[in-house]
Chain A
Amino acid sequence: MKTLAQLKPGERSRIVGIDPRDPEAMRKVLCLGIMPGERIELIRRSPAVVFAMGGSQFALDRELASCILVE
């Protein structure tokens, strides 16, 4: 399955799941309101993963971005 960290800059997608294997990372991502169902657009992959979601922009490191599963 594809993760947010694997999208290309400019690519649009939808979040379909959060990997529950790392509970700490999952909690952090969910706290920020990053949830399945949200439409996103990737802006940059490096030095951090930057994406737009519903009028907000977020930066996550690769580790966190890898627990976000996308279409």
Chain B
Amino acid sequence: MRPRPESSNSAALAVDPAGIPETETLAAEEGRKGPVLLVGFPNVGKSSIFNLLTGSYVTVSNYPGTTVGVSFGHLRIPAGEEVLRLEVSDPPGMYGLLPLTDEERVAREALFSSRPSCVLHIVDSKTLPRQLGLTLRLIQAGLPLILVCNMTDEAETQGYRLDTGVLAERLGIPVVKTCGTNGVGLHELKHEIAAVVRGNGRPAGHRRRIPFDEGVMGVLDEMEARIEERRREARTFLPAGMDSRTAAQLALEGATDIAAASGLDSETLGAYARKARDMVGHPFPLYAPLSLKAVTDKILEGVFEDPERSRNSVREALSRMLINPWSGIPILLAVLYLCFYQFVGVFGAGTVVGWLEDDLFGRFVNPFFQRVAEGALPWPWLQKLFVGDYGVFTLGITYAVALVMPVVFFFFLSFSLLEDSGYFPRLALLVDRFFKRIGLNGRAVIPMVLGFGCDTMATITTRTLETGKERILATLLLALAIPCSAQLGIIMALLGSRGFGVWVGYVLVLTGIVFFVGWAGSKVLPGRAATFHMELPPLRLPRLSNVLVKSFARMRWYFFEVIPLFLLASVVLWALDLSGGLVLLRHGLEPVMMLLGLPVEAADSFLIGFFRRDFGAAGLFHLAQYSPDKAGLSTHQLFVASVTLTLFVPCIAQFMMMFKERGSKVAASSALAITGIAILTGFGLHHFLLLTGWL
């Protein structure tokens, strides 16, 4: 819906209950050539709008903070004869212009540094009153804005009423109703985007000041003028796209980074803060959101109605069971058992791997490649590259496709299903207290659970944690004690065959290590875990199509990450084997294997494990069944090897990600700590078992 033409619009505003005074009209040609930018609170469906607009796929889920980093895509809007081609960018969600986490900072930076040609503020229609404050801030910042009221299907069935026509008039910007899951409103949204981008005789944005008390307005005016002055003297480091008014307000609200960049010294700033405080009786950081709320309440008068609260009783009852520890913990154990043990472990790593590895690859694929290689390649050393013990086909492709892929896929399927149901935020609050003891808070549950799928992927999501301390600890624990799904699946299959008790022992030892290292790490590292906050989205029945698409998208990421490294690993191992380097390395690891009471051949698994963790476990799988003396590893050895291998250095991809995300100092010292802890634990465990004679 379009606002009325500009002239009558301003007139309407003059008598409007909200009374946002218009101060300045921005010309369309202000150099806004950047992307169409999607902003909004976390979990309002930004990513699903992005997918609809661009036709590409980024992960959509029922968990705040799914988007890490910025996704880009392309949008084409046919407009008459020509086609408008635009770049669309989807930064992570943000609660406001005062970022709580690094990714919110990423989102704010995109707003003020990328010179967006159009900004879509996407809101959940059901909780519009809470989000409209951000809309006003974006209007004040002079951004070319469209308000997108999403999730209208849910809102309407629940009895919410929203008059977007009047809202558009009062705000002076286009307002569009959409539903990201079925595409309602998409056409209109595209139409509005085209209109905003091309100007269409309309200004690209109207800067309006948020109406605070007169006195406070005076303080802000003064600060704005000063910042403006500093800007002319090129003495600020503010992002070019951030107007001085927004900078002034954010500085006064306690955004230390903006304050520092504004060029105002802390003394001047302190004086302004005191002045504003004396005028209204509250500190400005409290006063500003409160006044904004008063303004948005007025704007929404007669426009927005929420229903008499009629909660879906079944859903609500289930939600309460999940957050009550007495029922929540048994449910958690049941979920772990069913989804991860039965579905991923027994079915994925057992049954499906059996079909693929023994039947498909063992009987057909590998013998075929063997025949081809032997027929086509006259030199045995070259044949070995493809079909030998470390051959590209017999080792690399077989492990990747037959062993790892099914396990990872079933994991991602379970994970996506749980994610879309809204289970994880509830799990986060359930484990918050436990996590605080290991220096994290409940929000770390997502990286930690995702780590059981792929630690490399999980290391990226540690960005969603608030403090540096939490990010370092989570990265360390992921690298040390969280086995990825492929590794876990194979270890589960290995240990499971030796009795359930062995498997329980493995879980207990690793849990103990997470607890101990997390606890010790939280004592050693300075700072403390951030306080815990989480919005609980409604429980939803996951849509199968979304779950599948998402699992495949994660699979694809994993595959492009994994296949090249698998092949590389095969080639490197082949070269090492051929040149005799492998014998040397194996020799080097011999004392370590002795310490752990393992046969020398187990060294292979540790070496290969560096290329992919799961790869190492797969090597162990091989060894357990077909070791040279045909006896395989004893249960004792297998147990020690499984624990040590899980703890041992992460795979090369994860290691690279640790460098990238945390820097060389943290990554290198983590690697050192991990090696020490792994060998010590293995050694201790070996001797403990010898002493007690348990296995």
Please give the residue numbers on chain A whose beta carbons come within 8 Å of chain B beta carbons, in ascending order.
Answer: 18, 20, 23-33, 35-37, 43-44, 46-48, 50, 54-61, 63-64
Contact = CB atoms under 8 A, between A and B. Distances in A.
A58 to B, nearest CB: 6
B290 A47 contact: no
B69 interface: no
Given A47-B429, A47-B430, A54-B129, A28 B531 contact: yes
A17 B308 CA distance: 25
Contacts of B95: 31-33
19 contacts: A25-B531, A26-B286, A27-B100, A29-B533, A31-B95, A31-B96, A32-B130, A33-B131, A33-B133, A35-B293, A36-B290, A48-B442, A54-B129, A55-B306, A57-B535, A58-B535, A59-B533, A59-B534, A61-B432
B282 interface: yes
B130 A58 contact: no
- Which 9 A-B pairs have CB atoms at the shortest separation, nearest pair first? A33-B130, A59-B429, A61-B532, A48-B429, A57-B536, A31-B95, A30-B289, A59-B534, A64-B531
A2 B130 CA distance: 24
A24 B325 CA distance: 29
Given A33-B130, A59-B534, A60-B532, A43 B320 contact: yes
B534 A58 contact: yes
Contact of B533 (A26, A44, A57, A58): A58
A10 B295 CA distance: 31
Given A27-B98, A30-B289, A47 B433 contact: yes
Given A47-B429, A48-B429, A48-B433, 6 more contacts: A20-B282, A46-B325, A54-B130, A54-B306, A56-B536, A64-B532
Contact of A55 (B253, B293, B309): B309
B5 to A, nearest CB: 33
A7 B432 CA distance: 20
A35 B536 CA distance: 18
A46 B324 CA distance: 8
Contact of B289 (A20, A35, A46, A58): A35
Given A47-B429, A55-B306, A56-B127, A30 B533 contact: no
A52 B133 CA distance: 20
B532 A20 contact: no
Contacts of A61: 432, 436, 441-442, 531-533
A13 to B, nearest CB: 15
Contact of A60 (B126, B282, B289, B533): B533
B427 to A, nearest CB: 11
B283 interface: yes
Contact of B285 (A23, A46, A56, A59): A23
A40 B53 CA distance: 37
Contacts of A56: 126-127, 130, 535-536
A27 B133 contact: no
A31 B433 contact: no
Main SS class of interface, A: mixed
B217 interface: no
B425 interface: yes
A26 B285 contact: yes
Contacts of B37: none
Nearest to A30: B289
B432 A55 contact: no
Contacts of B127: 33, 54-56
A11 to B, nearest CB: 15
Nearest to A51: B536
Interface in B94-114: 95-96, 98, 100
A18 B129 contact: no
A13 B98 CA distance: 28
Nearest to A25: B531
A27 B101 CA distance: 13
Contact of A64 (B293, B320, B533): B533
Most chain-A Cβ atoms within 10 A of its Cβ — which of B129, B306, B430, B535? B535
B254 interface: yes
A26 B290 CA distance: 12
Contact of B286 (A30, A37, A44, A47): A30
Contact of A31 (B98, B158, B432, B441): B98
Given A44-B323, A54-B127, A55-B306, A27 B531 contact: no
B428 interface: yes
Interface string B402-439: 00000000000000000000000100111011001000
Interface in B534-548: 534-536
Given A20-B283, A27-B254, A61-B432, A50 B535 contact: no
B531 A50 contact: no
Nearest to A57: B536
A12 to B, nearest CB: 11
Contacts of A47: 323, 325, 429-430, 432-433
A46 B431 CA distance: 11
A63 B531 contact: yes
Contact of B293 (A37, A43, A59): A37
Given A30-B285, A47-B429, A59 B290 contact: no
Contacts of B283: 20, 23
Nearest to A58: B535
A26 B100 CA distance: 12
A33 B95 CA distance: 9
